[in-house]
Structure 1
Amino acid sequence: MGIDEIISVVPYDKQWTILFQNERVNLFKAFKDDAIDIQHFGSTSVQGMFAKPIVDILIGVKTLDLKNSVANNLIQLGYEGFGEMDGTGRLYFRKRQEHAYNLAVVIWNSEQWINNLLIRDYLRNNPHIAQQYSERKLKAITKGYTALLSYSDEKADYVSNILEQAKKSGRYNYKK
């Protein structure tokens, strides 16, 4: 299966937090000592937001050169690996079973790590911005952006703007 897939956007589901907590336990076992931290991020981590019904999980590691045992453990859990995406410093894995998950494996405390947590926390603490972002997502779907890559491209500038707002607010201080 290729990386592009048909997506939908649905209202917030409080089960997403529970699904994350359960999968987090499995992922710590799979990564063993290689995972420094595992965080729920993306729209499913923001109460009240519309989101793709796919739980996004951010895994902070020391190196992107994962051990074979980690890769094998992820396969055993049902994950499909796509490698590093466009030189972004992020390894991408996904699981599509009864519940869907995306894994972003990044260097802990790197720019990727920090930026994803900045966006999450900014949206959590600014419900009006989260609502605007939800509306933007729904508009993208109604305009026909229902494939993952086109949907992501359609909202990329908006997400960059949210990141800049979060950085300017100075409220979220993630130091390297």
Structure 2
Amino acid sequence: MKVEVVPHDLTWRGKFEDESKNVALTLGENVVAIHHIGSTAIPHIYAKPIIDLLVEVENIAKIDDCTLGMQGLGYEVMGEFGIPGRRFFRKNNKTGTRTHHIHTFTARSSEVERHLAFRDYMIAHPEDAQKYSELKRKLAKQYPNDIIGYMDGKDGFIKEMEKKALVWWTLDKSE
């Protein structure tokens, strides 16, 4: 998979909103909330132009009953895809370029908290967001055709920021 990071695009928010409406209709009353996560949700940083949606649901097992509906929206059904308790979907456009990821978890789970804390921390701390942006640009140049190398290169930074974000998130919520 080609690794490409691009400057923040103001249309990403609208693309998230459009897709979240379709996903909410397809997944139905089980949906608690849909959040825009990932780098496309963080203003002013470079990102792979893939919209990440985090869907919180009441009952994760009921998502398995929505496979045909998600396929009808153009999604590939990936199951847990390496994270227990998740349902993951990915979508490509007509040319085969990835456009969307959907991460579905039980509402208020630690995975939901981790993703939202990271996003909100990066938005509230633009200096760390810019460090992340620069790292992504460097890695995309270093691994232009190696998504695994790119992802591995970000791993340590993301884990460090997640720890900071969760402490910040907990303190912020208690105030």
- TM beyond 0.5: yes
Q: Distance in 1 between matches of 2:62 and 2:77?
A: 12
Aligned-partner SS, 2:78: strand
Q: Number of paired residues?
A: 170
Q: Which amino acid aligns with 1:22?
A: D
RMSD: 1.8
Would the aligned equivalents of 2:4 and 2:144 in 1 still touch at CA under 8 Å? no
Would the aligned equivalents of 1:35 and 1:62 in 2 still touch at CA under 8 Å? yes
Q: 1:72 aligns with which of 68, 78, 81?
A: 68
Q: Distance in 1 between matches of 2:143 and 2:83?
A: 28
Residue 145 of structure 1: how far off its partner (Å): 5.6
The equivalent residue for 1:92 is: 88
TM-score (norm 2): 0.89
Using the aligned pairs only, state the percent identity.
28
Aligned-partner SS, 1:37: strand
Q: Distance in 2 between matches of 1:148 and 1:104?
A: 19
Query: Mapping of 1:53-68 within 5 angstroms?
Result: 53-67=49-63
Q: 1:82 aligns with which of 57, 62, 78?
A: 78
Residue 88 of structure 1: how far off its partner (Å): 3.4
Aligned-partner SS, 2:61: coil
Query: Mapping of 1:9-158 within 5 angstroms?
Result: 9-67=5-63, 69-97=65-93, 100-144=99-143, 146-158=145-157
- Summarize the Cα distance change of 1:68–1:108 in structure 2 as closer, same or farther, 3 Å threshold: closer
Structure 2 gaps, min length 5: none
Q: Distance in 2 between matches of 1:25 and 1:141?
A: 31
Structure 1 gaps, min length 5: none
TM-score (norm 1): 0.89
Would the aligned equivalents of 1:145 and 1:154 in 2 still touch at CA under 8 Å? no
Aligned-partner SS, 1:13: coil
More helix by share: 2
Would the aligned equivalents of 1:34 and 1:62 in 2 still touch at CA under 8 Å? yes
